[in-house]
Every structure is written in C-alpha cells, then in structure tokens.
Amino acid sequence: MRVTKHEHATLRVEESGRTLIIDPGSFTAPLADLTTVDAVVLTHEHPDHWTPEHLARLREEAPGVPVFGPQGVVDAVTSVDVQLVAPGETVTAGVFTLTFYGGRHNVIHESIPVVDNLGVAVDGRLYYPGDSYTVPDDLDVEMLAAPLGAPWLKIGEAMNFVLAVGPRAAFGTHDKTLSEIGSGMHRARLAWATQQGGGVFHELDAGDSIEF
C-alpha cells in the first residue's frame, strides 16, 4: 500500500494499481491522475475536507466513482450522490475494503454545532480519524494518519490519541492551520507518542508518499 499526503487533510491511497481519495478539501491543490480512482471518502461536511470543484474533477476523470460519507455529508453535498455509511459499517469499493468508526466531530466551541464525522480504516491497515480522536479498538493499526493542528485540537489530546491507538507507524496530517514552526513542534510531540508503543513516525510534507 502506498499513501500520499496532499495539502491539509487530503490523502491518496494506492493499492494494486487502483486509487482511493480521502477528504479532497479547500486547502488542497487540484488533484491529477484520477482515472484509476475506485472511491472517494468524505469524513465530514466541513469545506476543508471537500469541495464541489474537487468532486466535479473526480467524476470527470473517473465517471461514476462512488463517494462515501456520513449523513451530514449526504445532506451537504448536492453536486453528486453520496452513499451513506455509518459507524461499524464495512463496504468494498474496487480493491479497497473500508470500515468506518466514530460518528461525531470533535467539539470546536459550544457555539458551533457538532457535525457528523467518520474515521476510516483502509484494508484494516491505514487508519484516518477525520476530525476526531476515535480509537479503532478492534484494529492493530499499521499506519496512522494523525491530525496535527485544528481549531478543535489540543496537542496533549492528540498525543493521547496516538498513545491509545499504538500504531506501528504514523505521520501527521490536517496541518494547514499551522506555521512551519508549529508543525515541527507538533510533529515532535506525535513522534514521541508513536515511539512509546515502538512505532516509527514519518515526517511527510504535501506531495510526499510512503509505502508499507
């Protein structure tokens, strides 16, 4: 499996010549080479995790590609049909097996509504929680895409999340709200948390890939 970190929260996962796109949002540059896409996952409805432009480009290059998301995404996205998925559900999309976790976005502030959010496990190997700290208790996570920075994120809580998951390897994502210095500080904290369970932390910038 190969995963490429794009800007902010967007991930491209490749396996057996096929592709999965997760959370192509407003902080992410236009994606290319989309003809092999088997599916798109949108973890929640916030625009930094999806845009109509990204979805239109995906559907143009990969006609009929299924888009999966929770109820909030189904309600928010009007440009394409979204297939509703829920916590505990597993679906097959091309060569990928997707299992969904969680249910709710982390609280930003009491004045801001809490929306639906799903973490997603890809083939039981890669786990990305979306905007949450949902731990997939039934998984031995091989690679964790761990949030680095957000209005809802306190770095100590993110460290505890990584400690709870105990991945064999991890990298940081959801980082466009951080400065270069802030990103480095937060990476160091999550690296420490990953290492406590014997895991390895990889520093990936936008466009970097890792195979595992």
**Structural domains in the chain (count):** 1
The tens digit of pLDDT for each residue in 53-74 reads 999 999 999 999 999 999 999 9
Rg, the chain, Cα only:
16
Range list of β-strands (E), the chain:
2-5, 11-15, 18-22, 37-41, 67-69, 83-84, 90-93, 96-104, 116-122, 126-128, 143-147, 169-173, 200-202, 209-211
pLDDT at 181: 97
Domain hosting residue 199, numbered range? 2-211
Give the three-state DSSP class for 49: helix
Give the other-Cβ count within 10 Å of 128's Cβ. 25
pTM summary value: 0.97
Can you tell me the mean pLDDT for 118-128?
Answer: 98
The tens digit of pLDDT for each residue in 88-118 reads 999 999 999 999 999 999 999 999 999 999 9
CATH number at residue 89: 3.60.15.10
